[in-house]
């Protein structure tokens, strides 16, 4: 799984900003607390028409998720 790495400042600045009427930018921390942005192909097409199009230029990097707390 790959996503785009952004700085903590950029993640906090853009978190929750809508790229259309139904979809908002979301940043997820990996196992090392680095923020990643994930965009589906549909999201990429939508972002391309927004002021956030520059995010598409960020390179893709491997993402290692934080482990979920176990249930009994």
Partner 1 sequence: MRIARGISVTNTSKPISTAAAFDADAAAFFTAASITDTTQKSAVNTLVLSLKSANIWTKMKALYPVVGGVASAHAVNLKQPGTYNLSFATGWTHASTGMTPNGATYADTFLVPSTALSLNNTHLSFYSRTNVAANTHQMGSSQLTGEAQYLTLITRYVANTAYYAINVSQSNIGSTLVSNSDSRGFFIGSRTASNVVSGFRNSTEQLNGTVTSTTIPNTKVFLGAINAFGSAGAYSTNECAFSSIGDGLTDTDATNFYNAVQTYQTTLGRQV
Q: Which residues sit at the interface with partner 1, rule CB under 8 A?
A: 1, 3, 18-26, 28, 36-43, 47, 63, 65-72
Q: Closer to partner 1 at the Cβ: 7 or 18?
A: 18
Query: Shortest gap between Cβ of 5 and partner 1 (angstroms)?
Result: 13
Give the whole-angstrom CA distance, residue 25 versus residue 56. 12
Nearer to partner 1, 7 or 65 (CB): 65
Distance between CA 23 and CA 56 in Å, rounded?
A: 16
Burial of 47 (C-beta count, 10 Å sphere; 0-12/13-18/19+): buried
2 or 7: whose CB is closer to partner 1? 2
């Amino acid at each position: 799984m790959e996503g785009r790495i952004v700085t903590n400042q950029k993640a906090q600045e853009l978190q929750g900003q809508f790229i259309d009427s139904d979809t908002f930018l979301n940043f997820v921390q990996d196992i090392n607390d680095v923020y990643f942005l994930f965009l589906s192909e549909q999201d990429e097409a939508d972002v391309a028409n927004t002021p956030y199009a520059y995010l598409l230029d960020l390179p893709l990097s491997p993402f290692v998720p934080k482990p979920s707390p176990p249930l009994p």
